[in-house]
Amino acid sequence: MACDVVVVGAGNAALAAALAAREGGARVVVLERAPEAERGGNSRFTAGAIRTVYNGVADLKKLIPDLTELEIARTDFGTYTREQFYDDMARVTQYRANPDLVEMLVERSLDTLVWLRGKGVKFLPAYGRQAFKSGDKTRFWGGLTVEASGGGPGLVEALHGAARRQGIDILYGTRALALLQDERRVRGVAARQGQRRIAITAKAVVLACGGFEANTEWRTRYLGPGWDLAKVRGTRFNTGDGIRMALDAGAMPYGHWSGCHAVAWDRNAPEFGDLAVGDGFQKHSYPFGIIVNARGERFVDEGADFRNYTYAKYGRVVLEQPSQFAWQVFDGKVLHLLRDEYRIRQVTRARADTLEELAQKLDGVDPAGFLREIAAYNRAVRRDIPFDPTVKDGRRTEGLAVAKSNWANPLDTPPFEAYQVTCGITFTFGGLRIDGDAAVIDTEGEPIPGLYAAGELVGGLFYFNYPGGTGLMSGAVFGRIAGTSAGAAATVAV
Ligand SMILES: Cc1cc2nc3c(=O)[nH]c(=O)nc-3n(C[C@H](O)[C@H](O)[C@H](O)COP(=O)(O)OP(=O)(O)OC[C@H]3O[C@@H](n4cnc5c(N)ncnc54)[C@H](O)[C@@H]3O)c2cc1C
């Protein structure tokens, strides 16, 4: 089989690349390891929340033209300026994110979403999970205001619809195994389709087939001991194939290889993601309650920052607890603030009218330790500072070894609810080094001719932590760049 550009993977980054390459006139073939029914990678498991620069309602209207006057009047959308995006990327990655990559991500975010809209992807304001009522307005609080219509499944459907309309071929059940090279230049991909080995020759290849989060052995090898015990939030197919293929071809390993995005995830969730549940196993409302371990003790500042800036690093903290679990505990005052994912059927929950009764119901937890911890926590809350979920309200504890810095409420109002979580890994941070054309860089610091990369397998953007909604944005931005570059390279390659 022959074409101009082969794209490996069929998630968000890959389809952005395929569409961009096709736009430049290239004949594009996409290889997807999953069967058609499971297509869409991690992108399909998402809520479709996507972090973009916008300087007010006028920018949002470029993405959501049918935003009504009434919605605009009743909503404080605020802004998310390029400066805010730069600050967030720098702060949460402890100033390690590669500035060139961050610049591409930030500067091209809005324009890339406008481009995707032109391809048929629809966007909405993320009212459900990113805004709270405050006075007579609904206020967005975390820099993450836009989501794809229909969430991850809607995004993937829209991208596949666009690919179909553009005549892009997608081969399902086709696992890329190795890059074909002629001297240094990449000339295509060797793949397996069932029991058959096939070769697809091309003038350029885009790798967009995810990180190594679903590879137990690599997780343990690179993230460290204990990571074999994490649950995988999304696809079972992202086992690091693209990274391995590129390293075999001389690519430079880059970024935070021992780092990953990992969250609080239902203790009894399956080993890999379940497409029927999507991201529903996550439990992200902990800023409004407390989190305790098997000793009944708090171990992390639940209110250190807005949830969008802490959730991706707190999965690791849960993994480090005895028996790798924790309980999130809430009282009646805040139950109405819990996100939709707390109300799914497949949830590990305990409910009681007294704290003593709840203590007996928390599987694996020392009841006496738990009651001691709650008493100390309740005494430490600054009740004189008003509670406000739309800002970092400074309503905090004082005098505790583990502080809670915002949104601290005493647990004193029945009913009490608790949710058991463990660590769910989302994606890995380490990967390949790319340049401004999304060309893969080799260990000598030179681009490998004909090889491009985008999405999770690009290293250098995320270290330690991650601002919510950036995964899809980076996939779209770098996918588009990689596809454009690959398409251009294909027209000149001999
Ligand atoms: C539950 C969950 C919720 C999330 N929520 C959000 C959110 O709301 N917003 C956000 O920005 N991010 C979110 N993320 C992160 C986001 O999903 C990823 O950052 C992003 O989707 C990665 O896109 P990608 O195209 O690089 O990878 P993917 O979408 O995973 O696509 C990779 C594709 O490559 C295929 N593949 C793997 N190996 C091979 C091979 N050898 N040959 C051929 N194909 C192969 C896979 O089958 C897969 O289809 C979430 C992730 C999960 C798991």
The pTM of the full predicted model, rounded to 2 decimals, is 0.97
Which of 124, 149, 209, 218 to probe ligand 1 with, by most ligand atoms within 8 A of CB?
209
**Cβ(434) – ligand 1 distance below 6 Å:** no
**Cβ(477) – ligand 1 distance below 6 Å:** no
Q: Which of 12, 79, 74, 7 shows the shortest CA–CA distance to 39?
A: 12
109: left (phi over 0), alpha (psi -120 to 50) or beta: alpha
Say yes or no to pLDDT of 237 above 60.
yes
What is the mean predicted confidence (pLDDT) over 197-221?
98
In this prediction, residue 437 carries a pLDDT of 98
Span from the CA of 279 to the centroid of ligand 1 (angstroms): 12
pLDDT digits (tens, 9 = 90+) for 306-339: 999 999 999 999 999 999 999 999 999 999 999 9
Span from the CA of 234 to the centroid of ligand 1 (angstroms): 7
Which residues have a Cβ under 8 Å from the Cβ of 259 and sit 6 or more positions away?
223, 428, 429, 430, 462, 463, 464
**Cβ(469) – ligand 1 distance below 6 Å:** yes
- Which of the four pLDDT bands, split at 50, 70 and 90, describes residue 493? low
pLDDT digits (tens, 9 = 90+) for 153-187: 999 999 999 999 999 999 999 999 999 999 899 99
In this prediction, residue 133 carries a pLDDT of 87
Span from the CA of 237 to the centroid of ligand 1 (angstroms): 9
Atom 6, ligand 1: residue with shortest CA distance: 46
* Segment among 129-133, 186-190, 242-246, 439-443 with least mean pLDDT: 129-133
**Cβ(31) – ligand 1 distance below 6 Å:** yes
pLDDT digits (tens, 9 = 90+) for 66-113: 999 999 999 999 999 999 999 999 999 999 999 999 999 999 999 999
**Cβ(130) – ligand 1 distance below 6 Å:** no
Token pair for residue 180?
């074909």
Which of 6, 19, 30, 43 to probe ligand 1 with, by most ligand atoms within 8 A of CB?
43
**Cβ(279) – ligand 1 distance below 6 Å:** yes
Tell me how far apart the alpha carbons of residues 53 and 305 are, in angstroms, rounded to a whole number. Answer: 20
Tell me how far apart the alpha carbons of residues 208 and 218 are, in angstroms, rounded to a whole number. Answer: 18
Say yes or no to pLDDT of 60 above 60.
yes
Span from the CA of 457 to the centroid of ligand 1 (angstroms): 10
Span from the CA of 453 to the centroid of ligand 1 (angstroms): 14
